Amino acid sequence: MIVFRDIRSVLEQALAGGVAARETKRLVQYCAFLALPLVRKKVRHGLLNLGLLAMTEEDIVYDALAELFRRDDGGNFPILQSSFNTFRSDQCSDEEIVDHLRKLVFVNVHKTIIRLYSETDPTLSKILRNLKIGIEKTDVFEETVRFGETVLVIKNADPLLGRLSMGSDDLQRAISSIVNVHDTIPAILFKLHALLAEQDHHQRVVPLFQLATMIKLVYVVGWETEQTVVPTVDEEMDTQRVREIIAQTCCEQEVHLRHSYVETEKISQATLHVYLQTIESILKEEYLDAGVATRSYFDHLVEFAPTVTHAEYRKHHRTMLEYLAKKTRIRLQGLLKAT
Predicted pLDDT of residue 281: 92
Q: Are 149 and 142 in contact (CB under 8 A)?
A: no
Task: Work out the widest C-alpha separation in the chain, in whole angstroms.
Answer: 83
Predicted pLDDT of residue 132: 87
Strands 141-146 and 149-154: antiparallel
Predicted pLDDT of residue 338: 66
Bridge partner residues of 252 (DSSP): none
Task: Supply the Cα-derived Rg of the chain in whole angstroms.
Answer: 26
Predicted pLDDT of residue 87: 63
Task: Tell me the pLDDT of the chain (339 aa) as tens digits.
Answer: 455 677 877 777 777 765 556 677 888 888 999 999 989 988 887 778 787 777 899 999 999 898 888 888 777 788 888 877 766 666 778 888 888 888 889 888 888 888 887 777 777 888 888 898 889 889 999 998 887 678 899 998 899 998 988 877 778 777 877 777 667 888 889 989 988 998 888 899 998 888 888 888 776 655 544 444 444 444 445 778 888 899 999 999 999 888 888 888 888 999 999 999 999 999 988 787 644 456 788 889 999 999 999 888 888 888 888 888 888 988 887 777 666
Predicted pLDDT of residue 230: 42
User: Which residue, among 120, 145, 123, 143, has the nearest Cα to 132 in the 3D structure?
Assistant: 143
Predicted pLDDT of residue 235: 47
Q: Are 71 and 42 in contact (CB under 8 A)?
A: no
Q: Are 272 and 257 in contact (CB under 8 A)?
A: yes
Predicted pLDDT of residue 222: 55
φ, ψ of residue 152 in degrees (nearest 5): -105, 125
Domain residue ranges of the chain, discontinuous segments joined by + = 7-117, 123-226, 239-338
* C-alpha to C-alpha distance for 142 and 152, rounded to whole angstroms: 5
Q: Is 22 left (phi over 0), alpha (psi -120 to 50) or beta?
A: alpha
Predicted pLDDT of residue 228: 42
Q: How far is CA 46 from the centre of its chain?
A: 16
Please report the DSSP string for 112-172 in residue order: HHHHHHHHH-HHHHHHHHHHHHHHHHH-SEEEEEETTEEEEEESSS---TTSPPPPHHHHH
What are the residues whose beta carbons fall under 8 Å from the beta carbon of 180, sequence distance 6 or more?
A: 218, 222, 297, 318, 322
